[in-house]
Structure 1
Amino acid sequence: MHSTGIKKLLLLGAGHAHLHVLAQLAQNRPADLDITVVSPYPYQTYSGMTPGLVAGHYSPEDCQIPLEPLIKAAGAKWIQARCSGIDAGEQRVRLSPTAKSQSAEDIPPPDLPYHLLSIDTGAVIDRERLEVEMPGASAHALIVRPIEVFASLWPKVVELAQSQPVSIAIIGAGAAGIELLFAAEQCLRQQGIHGARFSLITGGGEVAANYSAGVRKRVLRQLKRRGITVLREACVGLEKGRVKLGSGAVLSCDVPLLAIGTHAPAWLQDSGLALSEAGHVLVNAFQQSPSHPNVFAAGDVSTREDKPHPKSGVYAVRAGPPLVHNLLAQHEGLALKPHHPPVNTLNLLSCGTDHAIVSYGPLYAGGAWAWRWKDRIDRAFVAKYRVL
């Protein structure tokens, strides 16, 4: 592994930070660096635009960043596969084929060696853990992650609603659940579909619990305006047509949409890498593993040991420029630069595609103008990484 000559950089995942890494490598790729990208999909579906997709404001193509042109521009290779394990000691990543890998040439190699590894696989839902926390969820809920699968299944919900009055319950009252709920309600209303009932199951806490009191008040006002029922209860299990609540009550529900917090990937457990309590890759100020200096990580798969921060796309996008700098510096034996995540971030919470709530630290406001601002930011992000 440590012979001189060409070194192997393995980019595991195609999250927000890795898009920036590829764009920068397209401008400046060291001749002695062999780059491979491992990702299960040929595109990244931009999570910030998923609610707009559900609402019918965007087409699937509007929300997708094709990876192949970006990878080609960076002089890299793409392997369509999922990670099934990492051996940090041996410097190898184990791969498993995707459902699309049907012909012999589509089947990925069982593992890949690396000199330098960067992990940006995004947020995941661990189905086994989910079954322990919420029995029946894997079989009966429409799960928001992976977004690519959810986006392909949402039209079936619309078809069902066209044929009968439906009850839809969103499980999870964080940003993802709130935005999804408003988008789903708008989608059916604008299509002239009547009789749909919507519920928001918070998990027992408040709606938008991670936001300021002012933002929470605005969200609750929007929910009331649209006749959406809020249940401050935990979902403890699902059966066909039924959501079991922590109080012992049962909610009749045709379509439970699951938008709860995400998990650390199970394949990290035996990797040998230093992990956080929740099982994410632990990284230092350089976004580098404290246990293995040739491993870096960014986005939702990682946790800063020195400055923990919320797992959101805003932080993942900011991590891109310092990540590519430190990957190249590590490769060339130069000094690394610390990444300073912002203390406050601009947050735009969409309530359908005609209203959004903007917040920055303690400040907040809302209106149609905030939605238009979010729309411009999201479209610009996708356009930035589209290589035509």
Structure 2
Amino acid sequence: MQSIGIQKLLLLGAGHAHVQVLAELARSRPADLDVSVLTPYPFQTYSGMIPGLVAGRYSAAEGQIALEPLMKAAGARWVQGRCTGLDMGARQVQVHALDPKAAPTSLGYDRLSIDTGAVLDRRQLDATMPGASTHALVVRPIEVFAALWPKVLEHALARPVSVAVIGAGAAGIELVFAAAQGIRSAGLRGASFTLITGGDEVAANYTPGVRRRVLRQLKRQGITVLMDSCVGMVPGSVRLGSGASLACDVPILAVGTHAPAWLQGSGLALCERGHVLVNAFQQSTSHPEVFAVGDVSTRADAPHPRSGVYAVRAGPPLAHNLLAAHHGRPLKPHHPPTHTLNLLSCGTQHAIASYGPLHTEGGWVWRWKDRIDRGFIARYRLD
């Protein structure tokens, strides 16, 4: 039973920002703060290193942060499971335990922080691309994707494979380069690689200079670009919006993400796409006891792209504000940067860097990205 005065903080999810919150709590957790973490995995897979995993540069373990040592240092309790719903009036989170024998339960809180990361809703996918949830290798959940990729390589050992990546944003670009690198470096010949853009230009959210650099690398590496949309999948084939079909053994979906379905009906203020609306303090605009960061949230006052860069930047101010709220102190606003450093890997040993209107590329950029990614992992490893 909780002592009088003890407050319950529930960290829902273990995204990039919550890892930093746990690190701060390990340094200075108040004695009157009870912390729980609800997440399905005992580790966080760092999304920035997934292309390197696919390319064969990193092992799965090298791109993971073990959560149990962090939670132990922070004095936090791990609840293994997934959120299935929120009851804002009762301040309860409905939990689906991963153990099939365990009954659904709920967790109470005084203060809730949500950082569950990006979601691809398979029902929404199948509504626009029938068969996608069954036949495609979906990038999210990222832990599942990382576990399945070695099976793709095993499949490629039997015969030459055709790989198509659907989505020409940063994730799709990096993954098609990485897939080509990983399969070719394994000595597997005759494979083909295609990037399906969805009808948009490649790297549409980048400057023209960056787009030109990406297109040059795609051509140099023999990767086909189709400015078409994917409208469905059947075994061995991707159906295109033009009416044509593309033979494809391994379709990889790297399209835009969705808001978690359990936010609907929660009572939290949401944006038009269903993400949690938050203010400058990363605090719900409707429920001040709730904070949200990363891909699950939208800044009502300062919208910005959903990317790992912004989620990482949000971690330290979130940790400060959670502790400030606990102590009844003033919160500090978080100001997302106008420009962020973006590093697009083109397999291994080459990457493209951009910052606002500036851009460059080369092997040194890839080595820079490698140091940044390894440094982030090392900072939070306590095992």
Instruction: Report the TM range for the smaller structure's normalisation.
Output: over 0.9
Q: Deviations over 1:95-145 (max 9, x none)?
A: 1122xx25x5xx376101100000000001011111112110000000011
Choose which of 241, 245, 248 in structure 1 pairs with 2:243: 248
Cα displacement (A) at 1:161: 1.1
The gaps in structure 1 that reach 5 residues or longer are none
Change (3 A) 1:109 1:330: farther
| Structure 1 contact 36–78 (Cα < 8 Å) conserved | yes
Aligned-partner residue type, residue 318 of structure 2 = L
Match of 2:49 in 1: 49
SS in 1 for 2:349: coil
Choose which of 359, 366, 369 in structure 1 pairs with 2:364: 369
Match of 2:87 in 1: 87
Aligned-partner residue type, residue 77 of structure 2 = K
1:134-283 residue pairs with structure 2 within 5 A?
Answer: 134-283=129-278
Q: TM-score, normalised by structure 2?
A: 0.98
Partner Cα distance (1:169, 1:209) in 2: 19
Partner Cα distance (1:60, 1:197) in 2: 25
Q: Deviations over 1:238-274 (max 9, x none)?
A: 1111111111111111110000011000000011100
Match of 2:65 in 1: 65
Partner Cα distance (1:123, 1:89) in 2: 26
Choose which of 87, 107, 111 in structure 1 pairs with 2:106: 111
Q: Deviations over 1:146-199 (max 9, x none)?
A: 111111111111111111111110000000011011011011111111110111
Aligned-partner residue type, residue 169 of structure 2 = G
Partner Cα distance (1:198, 1:31) in 2: 55
Choose which of 315, 334, 340 in structure 1 pairs with 2:329: 334
Aligned-partner residue type, residue 332 of structure 1 = H
Q: Deviations over 1:248-301 (max 9, x none)?
A: 111111110000011000000011100011000110000000100000001110
Change (3 A) 1:75 1:135: same
Match of 1:40 in 2: 40
Partner Cα distance (1:338, 1:295) in 2: 15
| Structure 1 contact 36–77 (Cα < 8 Å) conserved | yes
Q: Deviations over 1:334-359 (max 9, x none)?
A: 11110000000011000011100000
Match of 1:381 in 2: 376
Partner Cα distance (1:47, 1:78) in 2: 22
Partner Cα distance (1:190, 1:334) in 2: 55
Q: Deviations over 1:2-23 (max 9, x none)?
A: 9951110000000000001000
Moved more, 107-116 or 31-40: 107-116
Match of 1:5 in 2: 5
Q: Deviations over 1:53-101 (max 9, x none)?
A: 0111001110010000000000000011000011112110001122xx2
Aligned-partner residue type, residue 273 of structure 2 = A
Q: CA RMSD in A?
A: 1.3
Q: TM-score, normalised by structure 1?
A: 0.97
Aligned-partner residue type, residue 95 of structure 2 = L
Partner Cα distance (2:187, 2:177) in 1: 16
Aligned-partner residue type, residue 198 of structure 2 = G
Aligned-partner residue type, residue 275 of structure 1 = L
| Structure 1 contact 238–244 (Cα < 8 Å) conserved | yes
SS in 2 for 1:352: coil
The gaps in structure 2 that reach 5 residues or longer are none
Partner Cα distance (1:360, 1:298) in 2: 23
Partner Cα distance (1:152, 1:108) in 2: 27
Q: Deviations over 1:342-383 (max 9, x none)?
A: 000011000011100000000000000000000000000000
Partner Cα distance (1:108, 1:77) in 2: 19
Aligned-partner residue type, residue 74 of structure 2 = A
Aligned-partner residue type, residue 146 of structure 2 = A
Match of 1:26 in 2: 26
Match of 1:325 in 2: 320
Partner Cα distance (2:4, 2:90) in 1: 18
Partner Cα distance (1:224, 1:173) in 2: 15
SS in 2 for 1:81: strand
Identity %: 70
Aligned-partner residue type, residue 74 of structure 1 = A
Partner Cα distance (2:114, 2:22) in 1: 13
Q: How many equivalent residue pairs?
A: 383
Choose which of 293, 299, 310 in structure 2 pairs with 1:315: 310
Aligned-partner residue type, residue 216 of structure 1 = R
